[in-house]
Amino acid sequence: MEETIRFSLNGKKTEIKIDPTQTLLWVLRNQLELTGTKYGCGMGFCGACTVLINKEPVRSCMLPIGDIAGKKVVTIEGLEKKGRLHPLQKAFIEHDALQCGYCTPGMIMTATAMLMKNPSPTRQEIVDGLEDNLCRCGTHVRIIEAVQTAAKEMKGGK
């Protein structure tokens, strides 16, 4: 049953011997000890488990690990580069765009994918892009502002 799955995880070559039907979320959390990716609903409705797979935002709670063979996976832990936070991480801090923080990794990963595709999103595009990520604390207004700030910074950096 077990197979060896090879993929890139946060820029590092990774190899794991595992039942390929196991779900990426729990493999990340339990085997690979990356707990920044959260369990929220297990059904793809809340977005707390969002990771990037080949730059696309994906709900890791719905994805068998077998599907990521040969692909590039980025989790919230992979955004910081050499001690430098990703502009979105910085902007979330700057805008206090979080309360309990549980949805935050999924929000940031979804926004990261959005800005890779569309570096200058309008407010409406940000709203549309984050629509299926749930936040119960009601931090939405600040999250939008943080994404706008990050977008500005990222363009300036190019």
Contacts to other proteins by CB under 8 A: 22-23, 26, 29-30, 33-43, 45-46, 48, 75-77, 79-80, 85, 88-89, 92-94, 96, 98-105, 108, 126-128, 130-144
Beta strand ranges found along 25-128 (DSSP E): 50-53, 56-59, 72-74
Comparison of 101 and 119: residue with beta carbon closer to other proteins: 101
CA 45 to CA 73: how far, in whole Å? 20
Least distance to other proteins from the beta carbon of 88, Å? 8
Q: What is the nearest approach in angstroms of other proteins to the Cβ of residue 120? A: 18
CB of 103 to other proteins, least distance (A): 5
- What span, in angstroms and rounded, lies between the C-alpha atoms of 117 and 57? 11
CA distances from 141 to 61, 83, 91, 105 (A): 26, 28, 13, 17
Q: Considering the complex, state which of residue 58 and residue 130 has its C-beta at the smaller distance from other proteins.
A: 130
d(C-alpha 35, C-alpha 32), whole Å = 9
**Closer CB to other proteins, residue 7 or residue 34?**
34
CB of 44 to other proteins, least distance (A): 10
Q: Give the shortest CB-129-to-other proteins separation in angstroms.
A: 9
Residue number with CB closer to other proteins (56 or 96):
96
Q: Sort residue 65 into left (φ over 0), alpha (ψ -120 to 50) or beta.
A: alpha
